[in-house]
Structure formats: C-alpha cells, structure tokens
Amino acid sequence: METSNFMSLDSSLLDLASLPQVLGEGGLFAFSGWDGETCASSDFAATWGAERLSLLIHTPLRRKLLIPLDDEARLRFATGDACLFEGDAGETKLVFAAWHTIIGVYSSAEECRLLEENGEESGVVREDGCQISCDKRKGDAVVVLATGSRFALAFGNSVEEACRRAREGVKLDVNGAIQERLRIHTLVPRLASDRRTELLHKCVSVMKVNTLGPEGAHKRFWSTPDRVPHKDMWLWDTVFHSLAMNRLSPLIAWECLASMLDSQRSDGMLPHQVSVQGRRSAITQPPVMAWGIWQNYMHHQQEALLEEALPRLESYLLWNLKHRDLNGNGLLEWDIEGDVNCRSGESGMDNSSRFDEACKLDAVDFNVFMVQDMAAAASICRELGHAEKALVWEQSALKMEKEILETLWDDEDGFFYDRRFDGSFSKVLAVSGFVPLLLDGIREDQIDRLVKWMKDERHFQTQYPLPSLAISEPTWSTDMWRGPVWINLNYLIILGLRKHKRYEEADFLSERTIELVQTYYEQYGVTFEYYDSADGRPPIACDRKGPRQLPYDIRQKYDSIRDYHWTAALTACLLWPASQ
C-alpha cells in the first residue's frame, strides 16, 4: 500500500491541514492548464456525485465512477484535482495525472466501478481487466483499469487510446502527481484565522480548476466561469478572474485577458462568449477590460503588454460609444432581448427586474463601467507616453461621469436609476444604483444617501447584503438577479466605498460577503454563483430563471452554479492580505 509522502512540498510553505476539507456534490474535479495541456473540447471534466465516493464524468455520454471507501475514512483534503482520505484500513487517493487520466489508490477490498449515468452497468464492457464505456455515437471511450489497490480512469477518442492511457496511468506515481497538483497552494498566504485560510485555499482551488491552457481558437491561457456547465470564455468574467490570478501569476492572468482580446471582431466589438471552437456571441458584456488590463499591469509592469492591448481596448470603447447610444444623448444602453428569462444578457444581469419593461434604458452601470474603462485607457496611454490620447480619454470619461451624476441621479429618492428615453426614471431599486460609488466625482451628499439606503433594513440591509434587488421590490425573489447576492457586485461596491474612505461600511460589507461564502462552503463544499440575500434558502434551493427542479441535475436545469470562478476569485481578493 502506498502511503502519503509529500515531503518535497516544504511544510513551512504548505500545511495540508489548511487545504479544503469539505467535499460536496457538484464540486469540480478536472485537470488545470496551470499544470499542462487541457482539452475542453473533449468535455472530460468531472463533478463529485451525491454518493460517497463518486464522480460524474461530463462527456457527451455521461459516466459515473464509484470508488470504494470505508465508512470511517476521513477526508484529509479535496482540491479541484486531488483528494486524500485516511482510514484505519489505509488511504484512498485520487489525482489528475493529465487532462485525460485520473489515477488513484484505494484501501477497500471492493473494486472501482464504472457505470452509466443512471447507475446501470449494461453499457459497460469488461475486457482484459478493463471496464470500458464507449459512446457509439461520438466514438470516444472511458476506461477503468484496476490492479491491486491501484486504479486509473482514462478518456480516449477510441477504446484503444483510452485503454493505453489507463495502462500507463496505473504505473504512475500517485504521490508525485499529488505533489505537483498541490504546488500552487504553496503560493497561498496563511491568514490569522484557520477558517479563512482554508477558504482561501478553496478559492485558489476553484480558480485553478477553471483555468485552461491553449486550445483551438484560444491560443493562450484562458479562463471559464465553470468547467460545467458554462465551459466557454466570457468577457467580464475573465476580468474578475484575473484580479485574483494577478496574485498567483500575473502573466497567466495577462494571457487570459489577452485571449479575450484575441476574440475581438474587426469592427472592435468584444463578444460576451467565445467557445474553444471559435463560436462568438452577437452581444457584448460590461466594459471592464481596460480596467482589468491596467490592474494586471500593476503586478507585471511590462509595458510591451500594455502596447499590445491598447489599440484593441480603444477600438472596443469606440465600438460601444458608436453602437450602444441609440438616442444619441451621450449615455449608453444595454441590448434588450426577447427572452423573458434573459432580457439583457449583455448587461450581465440577465433577468434583473430592471429590464422587465423590455425597453432600452440609459443604464447606470453600463455608463459607470465605461467611465472607469475610459479612465483606465487614459492611464495606459500616459504610462506609454501617449499624452494626447490620454487627454482625449480623460475628457470623454469626465463628460460621461458628469452626465451620470446629473442625469441618472434622482434627488428626490437619493438613488441612481436607469432612465427611459422620455426622460423618466425606471424606479427599480437595484444594486446597479450603487455602482456610481466607483466614480471619482460623486458628491459626498450622494455617497451619504447611498450609504443610508445600504443600511436600511427595509431595502438593502439584508441578512447578507447587498441584494441585487431591494427586498422592498415586489419582484424580489431568490432567482438570479432578482434578489440574490452576487459577489462581483459586492466587490465593486466595496472598492467604491474604499475609494471614498468609507472604510467602516466597506469593511462590514467585505466581512459579511466573506462569511456568506464561507458558511455555504463549509456546508456544501463549493463556492456558489449567487446566494439568497435574506438567507431563507441555501444556495442549492435558490431559483434560476424559474423554480429549481429535483433531483439536482445540472444538464436538465441549472441552479446556482457550483464552484463558480468569480465567486472564488473575488472572495480571494477580499481575503488576500493587502501587503502581499
């Protein structure tokens, strides 16, 4: 029996007790581009199943792996690509050795079993010691080979390829592979609280598993919101992911941002979604790319990368100014769709009550993001010595900022609202109304009144603030952007509060946000896409574009998605010591 030996990982840099110690259904298990080649087009990624211990393989023909585990076995750690259980009978270990192969050791006398998704074995053939599942339609195969206490599960485009990989896999060093998978965790600082340290390691694990290597249309590193079900690269998600990746590898963060820029159309438009196969969506997303590139530069300080990015960033900003101001008043509007469950996918707030009227609106958040991005473009220009260009972007940002603060501010209510083309306010109390805190020029009296809204228990001071929609709104619910807390908006508002020296409010919101993610990580073992702001329901029971469905099946109905990347990344940003 192999025993654990991770001595090559300096114990002063990594305490295994700090690693994630909760394993939950739907948690991701896959190979990361951080460690080598990935193959997103194969769909060979897994999530933990409801049974202990099982994996659901998300190939087009889904398979299930059951690993025998003694009842008394205790989880020592579980990351997105490695796990270890300890028990009286010995250890059970699983680790990704390559994108196509999982290897492991188990202590039970029973054998690993490869099953169909429904738990049946009828589609699994046994041959030469291998359990073989072949997708007759696609031609790919998944094979399990066990020799003694060792096993390997391998994917291949043919039975022969999968069998070869499995036979090679059972000969590999399990402990050595685990050492390599855990190496990223030596970069994670120890915090004052053991709970918070474990949460930070969980966040890094989620970040890692959702970071992929060059493939297909993506010629560099790229990131995804989640390996299952979103799979593709998304615009503003990529920026949020990069903010935390800057702490671990600024150059991987840069490549992820650059991969998004590589998808730009010839007219300057950046699509909101891009697949490995090169499919690009017809809408964009919140313009935060220049801001993300500038934040990334703060960590790598390589001017050549700014030079590469600048013309693309300028082209994208100009595209927004040209194509998203239908009424020509200098304020931009999101694209509005016919889908009642997703009126504005472009806004990133798909089904927000803001868009229930299904009409174009001068949008608070769109314009604030544009101001921030134009200001970032100006900073990039100045850094590169392009003073005249910098002045143009600074003036454009100031002009739009003035319009936001004067035109989208309702002095009667003391809140920022979207505005209809007839000049009337769309008085929906949404979290977007706090986004102007990011603006340099917002007045103190405006900040005071926004903070008053934040602290009002009738509206935004929920059990876990900030709700995406005030609880006083008649359409408030637990459905995505119609009430739940989203970590990306909380993070931006925390930045805005800190910008204006409202440290007490910023620290309160930061702590409540961290505690929210921590509470449900400890209960379910994952970071969720969004959370019930009233805390009346756990995330697994929240609605998503309609009521939840049971049993949980991510292919039939998405709920609050698990091991969601920007939740992990931005929680990591809040946890990471400012001095490091």
The 3 state secondary structure assigned to 469-492 is ECCCCCCCCCCCCCCCECHHHHHH
Per-residue pLDDT tens for 250-309?
A: 999 999 999 999 999 999 999 999 999 999 999 999 999 999 999 999 999 999 999 999
pLDDT tier for residue 6 given thresholds of 50, 70 and 90: low
Which pLDDT does position 327 carry in this prediction? 97
pLDDT of residue 555: 73
In the predicted structure, residue 3 carries a pLDDT above the cut 60: no
Mean pLDDT across 561-576: 98
Alpha carbons 361 and 187: distance in angstroms, whole number = 45
Chain mean pLDDT for the chain: 95
Work out the percent of the chain whose per-residue pLDDT is above 90: 87
Burial of 327 (0-12, 13-18, 19+ CB in 10 A): middle
Which SS3 state, helix, strand or coil, does residue 102 take? strand
Question: Which tokens is 41 given?
Answer: 């087009």
Alpha-carbon span 199 to 211, nearest angstrom? 19
Residue 7's pLDDT band (boundaries 50, 70, 90)? very low
Contact 484, 169 (CB under 8 A): no
The pLDDT tens digits of the residues spanning 215-266 come to 999 999 999 999 999 999 999 999 999 999 999 999 999 999 999 999 999 9
Distance CA 150, CA 3 (A): 12
What pLDDT is attached to residue 283?
97
Q: Are 10 and 186 in contact (CB under 8 A)?
A: yes
Task: Please report, rounded to a whole number, the percentage of residues in the chain having pLDDT higher than 70.
Answer: 97
Alpha carbon distance 242, 294 (integer Å): 11
Structure confidence by residue, pLDDT tens digits, 322-346? 999 999 999 999 999 988 888 899 9
pLDDT, tens only, 89-139: 899 999 999 999 999 999 876 889 999 988 888 778 988 889 999 999 999
The pLDDT of residue 1 is above 50: no
**Each residue of 376-420: pLDDT tens digit?**
999 999 999 999 999 999 999 999 999 999 999 999 999 999 999
- Does position 573 have pLDDT exceeding 60, yes or no? yes
The rounded distance, in Å, linking the Cα atoms of 147 and 126 is 14
Is residue 145 predicted with pLDDT exceeding 70?
yes
Q: What is the structure's pLDDT at 331?
A: 99
